[in-house]
Amino acid sequence: MPGGAAARHSGWKQVDTALKAQAMRNHYRVSIPGLVFVMLMAFGPACSAENTIRLSTAAKAAAAGDTAVGERQYDKALPLLEQALAIYTVEREEILTANVLTSMAQLREGKGEYDAALSAVHNALAIYEKRNATATKEYAQAYQILAKTYSKRQDVANALPAMQRSVAISTKVYGENHMETVIAHSNLATVYLTSGDFANARVHAVKALNLCEQIVEPSQPCIGVTLGQVGSVYSRSGDNTNSLLYYKRALVAMERELGPDHPSLAVGIANVGAGEGNAGNYETAIALTKRGLTLQEKQGKSTLAVANTLNNLAFLYGKMGQHENAVAEIRRAIEIREKIQGKWSAGLAIPINNYASFLAALKQPVQAQEQGRRGLALALANGLLKSQNDSFQTLASIQATPGNQSATVFLRKQAVSTVLKIAQATKLRDRDLGKTFVAEKAAGFRRLIDELIGLDRLPEAQEILALLKGDEYLHFAGERLVSTTIVSFSEFEKPWLHKFREHETRLVAMTGAWSALQRKSTAQTSVEEIQRQAEAEAELAAENLAFMTFFEQMAQAFATKEAQHSSATKESLQRLGEKRQLLERHGGGTVALKFVSGERLHIVLTGDRKQLSRRIDITAEQLQRKITAFRQVLQNPRSDPGPLARELYQLLLAPVAPELAAMKARTLLVSLDGALRYLPMAGLHDGKRYLAQRYSLALISELGNRSLADQVRTTPHLAGFGLTKSVAGFKALPGVQRELSGIAGAGGRGVLRGEILLDEAFTADSLAASLAKGHPFTHLASHFVYKAGHDDASFLLLGDGTRLSIKALQNPRFDFSRTELLTLSACDTAATGVDANGQEVEGVASMLQQRGAKTVLATLWAVDDGSTAAFMPAFYRRLQTSVSKPEALRLAQRDLMHGRFAAGGAKRGAERVGVAGAQPKYKADERNRYAHPYFWAPFVMVSNWR
């Protein structure tokens, strides 16, 4: 279970270690009584005895109030600070007034009265700045409270710059090796974490830890706290291994500094319990969570901390299948929160959604739906996007019964829409650490795709897949902006969506008014306001009832509509019409095949007059294992590819073979998904022939297929670039010179006219300059390495030895807009590792198409240098006839498998040697040395197939 999944589906509360550090701080503010004494000495007789008494009274009240704030005894502190503030204001003691205002702001922030806290701290800062006291500890502390209050109010836009300035001020005032600077970095890490900027969150969490370790005998247990925060960054980003490692180190440090039974250890214990739960060690996690709960209950059995731990414990019981225990603990957690925060507090959204899930597991669907809808109402009312997604998914799963699939789809669509909002808010800035969010998002998309296909709503399913692939591309390409495409709804769904949004608007407005009244302290609340609070809660209860009624009406309407067979969205039908027109325009025999990976594999076939789907009973994991095994066999020309090639054909093509025959298919436009993007389709075998011998094949990408309709130029002019020498650990490629000479050699020896730049002449500058000239064909013959999920780690090795990353290729100076065909004749795709899902294969082609290239010809593994030198001229020769690009590729592959060339060149790319497990031996035909698919199957063509 990923760390992020725990937080999403269970509401697993990761402890905010930065705020714990804030609570453990020492109060460095200069003693207010001491300041008064200094002033009296300075002014002597000018101060009357009465003034002295008043100032002394204020100093004592301020000191007592400050102590009470530090102990979180806010009701005790408030009248003391108000007394001190009144005296200092009358006496015009501005600095002392600012000090008390800062304490007052800390009090208001602690009580959750954020508007009042901001007002107080802004007034304090204004005084400090007026009196030129910005290089003081008091000013630094006031700025930390300002930044923390923005953060607690979830106002990231203001919190981030305030926290950044707080770090700068604390560093200037205290120096780096000081607890206040540690706290400032820790608080800044928290804001970055909240905003989804995991990279900067990690930077400042690690900085806080390093500074803490440099402090000699720190009086606070900051090492444990900062270790825990680093663990939280890893947890939120899905790295459960490092997360648990840091959590365990943090607990050991806190036990060493605080002792084994200190109440504050509950924080560290809860984090380790969370880590063990994420790792699937539920029994260990339950034992740890119970230990932490015991420590927390020593300070009170009805606190928010206890409620959070009970929620975690309920989640663990749920994972163990002990749903009765889960229900008992989650009910306690809800009761505590309702008592402390009220029935409409934001903190109830997660536990109530969990409650719904547990009830559903206990086969209590009516009660589960009631709680799920309440959880959704709370998430909507409080603007909690992640909780909204969780609630939509929970309700959809509860709703997913025969006759209710249309309502399920409607809820899933809203979940996907919400996830896109989250993506736009977080920007997915660190792609490595953002992998949990991406994986969870994809799972939600694929559930929706499965359900749409199950309802035979194929155009909509393809639309959602296109949306998912678009975001995959942006994730791979490192874009900080996400797709602005929105989920479309059918004409039947749109009125219900409108009504839903109306309820949401009312819930948000009513909850905002109720929350504003709730934030007022008891001392400030008048009789009229108490009455207004009751009225606001009654209004919310009435709107909640109306929301529940709306859900019942919606479910009934969708069930009725489903019996009449729901229609697809106008937008998706329009896209289907455009695709059919495209197929018709390019003649008969052209068929589109789309493979969609969900809980099971789906094949969607589109011809000029027909669209249908087939479901394949294989999981994504099972399919990935077969593809990996097939690739290993293909990359060893001594292994027999036949058994696996036939098995995969039967799995992937045989289910639609009758339809392909009926349509007299000659060209297949194939859209692949997930690990299928690593599969060389040309190498599949129907028992008589390879697919490359039967069909012309072209891959189409969701972002690049717009160029399918582009008019192409046929001017046969090529710019060729190559590396022949060994460079930086990569083998020499002696066949490159022969390859390029055969394509565009001087004196008419080549197939095309053109220019060739080899080795030192092949640089980033020369490539950019060549692209600017507008050669229709650009051919790159060098090592090209793909790495899953890393556009900055995937690279083309240039002739001068430098590495041109995919990220660098996105620079505007590399303009492919006049490139008809871009050939990468030496790609190496490493289809290994848990994160390998083919994003980089489609992502590179999509990026190049977005940069303007009409068609991309690439390879799926390190190709043989000698066979490629023979293959490429054959391909370009075929391209000069009237055939399409995919047909030219097919014919060149046929030429190679039936040719009489001597094999044995070097491999291009990062070579991998060996095949896992024993494989049948392949007996090569002495007359056709390149017949094995190793030599011709890795070449794949993407996009403009004419």
Q: What letter would DSSP give residue 823?
A: E
Task: Kindly state the average pLDDT of the residues 277-293.
Answer: 91
Task: Kindly state the average pLDDT of the residues 639-666.
Answer: 93
Instruction: Answer for the pair 774, 818: CB distance below 8 angstroms, yes or no.
Output: yes
CA distances from 521 to 32, 71, 109, 115, 526 (A): 26, 18, 12, 13, 10
Q: How many whole angstroms separate alpha carbon 849 and alpha carbon 701?
A: 9
- 474, pLDDT greater than 60: no
- 913, pLDDT greater than 70: no
Q: Which tokens belong to 35?
A: 């300041």
- 491, pLDDT greater than 50: yes
Exposure string (b/e) for 78-87, b if CB count within 10 Å is 16 or more?
A: bebbebbbeb
Amino acid making up residue 873:
P
Phi, psi of 604 (to 5 degrees): -110, 120
Q: How many whole angstroms separate alpha carbon 389 and alpha carbon 423?
A: 12
- 616, pLDDT greater than 60: yes
CA distances from 275 to 244, 247, 390 (A): 5, 7, 21
Q: Of 177-181, 515-519, 630-634, 794-798, give the lowest mean pLDDT range.
A: 515-519
Amino acid making up residue 468:
L
Task: Kindly state the average pLDDT of the residues 354-366.
Answer: 95
| pLDDT, greater one: 458 or 932 | 932
What pLDDT was estimated at residue 841?
Answer: 65
- Which strand ranges, in their side-by-side order, compose the sheet holding 827-829? 803-805, 795-797, 784-786, 827-829
What pLDDT was estimated at residue 512?
Answer: 85
Q: Of 5-14, 194-203, 733-742, give the lowest mean pLDDT range.
A: 5-14
Q: What letter would DSSP give residue 261?
A: T
Q: What letter would DSSP give residue 317?
A: H
For tokens 């710019």, the residue is: 719
- Residue 115: pLDDT band (50, 70, 90) is confident
Q: How many whole angstroms separate alpha carbon 85 and alpha carbon 80?
A: 9
- The CA-CA-CA angle for residues 278, 280, 286, to 5°, reads 85
- 829, pLDDT greater than 50: no
pLDDT per position as a tens digit, 403-437: 788 899 999 999 988 888 876 665 544 343 345 55
For the chain, percent of residues with pLDDT exceeding 90: 36
- 162, pLDDT greater than 70: yes
Task: Kindly state the average pLDDT of the residues 479-488.
Answer: 58
Q: What letter would DSSP give residue 818?
A: T
What pLDDT was estimated at residue 432?
Answer: 39
| pLDDT, greater one: 518 or 634 | 634
- 545, pLDDT greater than 50: yes
pLDDT per position as a tens digit, 711-760: 444 557 899 999 999 887 788 888 888 889 888 876 667 788 889 999 99
Pairing outcome for strands 939-943 and 855-859: antiparallel
| pLDDT, greater one: 709 or 935 | 935
Number of C-alpha atoms within 13 angstroms, CB side, residue 854? 20
- Residue 840: pLDDT band (50, 70, 90) is low
- Residue 13: pLDDT band (50, 70, 90) is very low
- Residue 579: pLDDT band (50, 70, 90) is low
- Give the 3-state secondary structure of residue 661: helix
- 369, pLDDT greater than 90: yes
- 5, pLDDT greater than 50: no
pLDDT per position as a tens digit, 51-72: 788 888 999 999 999 999 888 8
What pLDDT was estimated at residue 7?
Answer: 33
Task: Kindly state the average pLDDT of the residues 314-323.
Answer: 94
What pLDDT was estimated at residue 599?
Answer: 74
| pLDDT, greater one: 358 or 946 | 358
- Residue 20: pLDDT band (50, 70, 90) is very low
CA distances from 266 to 254, 316, 368, 926 (A): 10, 17, 31, 73
Q: How many CB atoms lie within 10 A of CB 321?
A: 10
Q: How many whole angstroms separate alpha carbon 343 and alpha carbon 350?
A: 13
For tokens 């600012």, the residue is: 98
Mean pLDDT (the chain, rounded): 80
Q: Which of 39-48, 383-392, 687-696 holds the top average pLDDT?
A: 687-696
What pLDDT was estimated at residue 858?
Answer: 87
- 574, pLDDT greater than 60: no
Phi, psi of 910 (to 5 degrees): -85, 105
pLDDT per position as a tens digit, 73-102: 888 999 999 999 999 999 889 999 999 999
For tokens 């006291």, the residue is: 133
Burial of 687 (0-12, 13-18, 19+ CB in 10 A): exposed
Beta strands in 849-923 (DSSP E): 855-859
What pLDDT was estimated at residue 12?
Answer: 31
- Residue 460: pLDDT band (50, 70, 90) is confident
What pLDDT was estimated at residue 431?
Answer: 42
Torsion angle of C-alpha atoms 904, 905, 906, 908, degrees rounded to 10? -120
